[in-house]
Amino acid sequence: MIGSRQEMLGRITAALDGAERAPAPGRRHGAVTSSPDVAALFVERVEDYRAVVERVAPAGVAAAVADALAGTGQVVVPPGLPRDWLAADGVDVVTDDGGLAADDLDRIDAVVTAAAVGVATTGTIVLDHGPDQGRRALSLVPDLHVCVVHESQLVGDVPESITRLRDAVVGGRPLTWISGPSATSDIELERVEGVHGPRRLHVLLVSDGDSTPRARA
């Protein structure tokens, strides 16, 4: 083992003997897409993936969550999810305490999480699996993922999102970037939504102000 390590590093050093060592490039890559209306772009791009996306006022989150969950059975939520998002009646909620096995999660229909960042240009939500998002399996095994994103969490494009997420990565947290429902194009390049991950993705984009009534886009 040690032998292999030494040998590989030795081969690499030998391979680079006399090579021109390319300098580290500067950090201004490509363009950061600036949209006059990041929220509108985000909605448009999430819809492109055939996910459901709605714009709601802060006071309307609980009702929107309840609507999104209509007709489903049990719902799992991470321990740090704001309780007032689940204030509506008729939702059978299990809070994850880390004890649910994969089999248990497979019997649960839906999950509600928050998000860390939303990327407008690509229509992506990013989870850094903090307390309001939970461990990775929660947002993977159940078939419906309802994800609540705040407008203040939106950025224009991928480079800005990396800037925001860097601390979480350096802190050792995993990230999950989600762009629409699970999909495949493996059969004749025809896109099919829904393979192994949640087949339905329902994004609720919460406006920053809290005085406006709940309005759907």
Burial class of residue 45 (count of CB atoms within 10 Å of its CB; 0-12, 13-18, 19+): buried
CA–CA distance, 197 with 179 (Å, rounded to integer): 12
Q: Nearer Cβ to other proteins, position 13 or 211?
A: 13
Residues 21 to 40 in contact with other proteins, rule: CB under 8 A: 21-25, 27, 29-31, 33
Of positions 71, 90, 172, 213, contacts other proteins by CB under 8 A: 172
Residues 50 to 89 in contact with other proteins, rule: CB under 8 A: none
Of positions 39, 54, 76, 129, contacts other proteins by CB under 8 A: 129
Q: Nearer Cβ to other proteins, position 65 or 201?
A: 201
131 binds other proteins (CB under 8 A): no
Half-sphere exposure of 129 (CA within 13 A, CB side): 15
Question: Judged by CB under 8 A, which stretch of 3-11, 35-43, 56-64, 87-95 contacts other proteins?
Answer: 3-11
Of positions 182, 200, 202, 205, contacts other proteins by CB under 8 A: 182
- DSSP 3-state of 146: strand
- DSSP 3-state of 55: strand
Of positions 63, 88, 94, 183, contacts other proteins by CB under 8 A: 183
Q: Nearer Cβ to other proteins, position 73 or 79?
A: 79
CA–CA distance, 211 with 57 (Å, rounded to integer): 8
- Give min distance, CB of 109 to other proteins, in A: 15
Q: How far is CA 171 from CA 91, 126, 166, 175, in A?
A: 34, 16, 8, 11
- DSSP 3-state of 108: coil
Question: Judged by CB under 8 A, which stretch of 10-18, 52-60, 65-73, 110-118 contacts other proteins?
Answer: 10-18
Q: How far is CA 151 from CA 21, 52, 120, in A?
A: 44, 16, 10
Q: Nearer Cβ to other proteins, position 150 or 199?
A: 199
Kindly state the number of chain residues that form the binding site for other proteins, as judged by CB under 8 A: 76
Q: Nearer Cβ to other proteins, position 151 or 193?
A: 193
Q: Which residues contact 107 (CB under 8 A, 6 or more apart)?
A: 74
- Give min distance, CB of 69 to other proteins, in A: 21
